[in-house]
């Protein structure tokens, strides 16, 4: 089957065909036990800021003059909310 530009094929339809054949429909995350691991560059692009946020919260609490329990009460809600958001996002894209 030979296709010519006068057969009604437009640039948009060529782009759509390319996107259907490419990796874009690959799952961003893979479910592993109770968690998700990044599987594509899109997954890593969402996972790296999540990890950076967790590290930033730890650095902030370590460098602050808060007491132990105050640090725990700041750390736990931040980690729980961040984990819920990344888990929800991963479940929607896997």
pLDDT tens readout for residues 78-90: 999 999 999 999 9
Q: 61 is in which domain, residue-wise? A: 27-92
Number of domains in the chain: 1
* Other Cβ atoms closer than 10 A to 41: 10
Q: Classify residue 13: in a domain, yes or no.
A: no
For 31-40, write each residue's pLDDT tens digit.
998 889 999 9
For the four alpha carbons of 33, 35, 37 and 43, in that order, the dihedral sign comes to positive
Closest CA to 26 of 45, 49, 43, 48: 43
Q: Classify residue 11: in a domain, yes or no.
A: no
Q: Classify residue 8: in a domain, yes or no.
A: no
Q: Classify residue 54: in a domain, yes or no.
A: yes
pTM equals 0.67
The packing angle between helices 68-92 and 41-63, to 10°, is: 170
């Amino acid at each position: 089957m030979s296709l010519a530009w006068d057969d009604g094929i437009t640039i948009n339809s060529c782009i759509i065909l390319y996107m259907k054949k490419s990796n874009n429909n690959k799952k961003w995350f893979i479910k592993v036990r109770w968690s998700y691991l990044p599987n594509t560059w899109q997954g890593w692009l969402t996972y790296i800021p999540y990890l950076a946020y967790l590290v930033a919260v730890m650095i902030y609490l370590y460098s602050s003059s808060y007491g132990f329990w105050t640090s725990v009460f700041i750390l736990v809600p931040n980690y729980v909310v961040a984990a819920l958001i990344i888990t929800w996002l991963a479940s929607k894209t896997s």
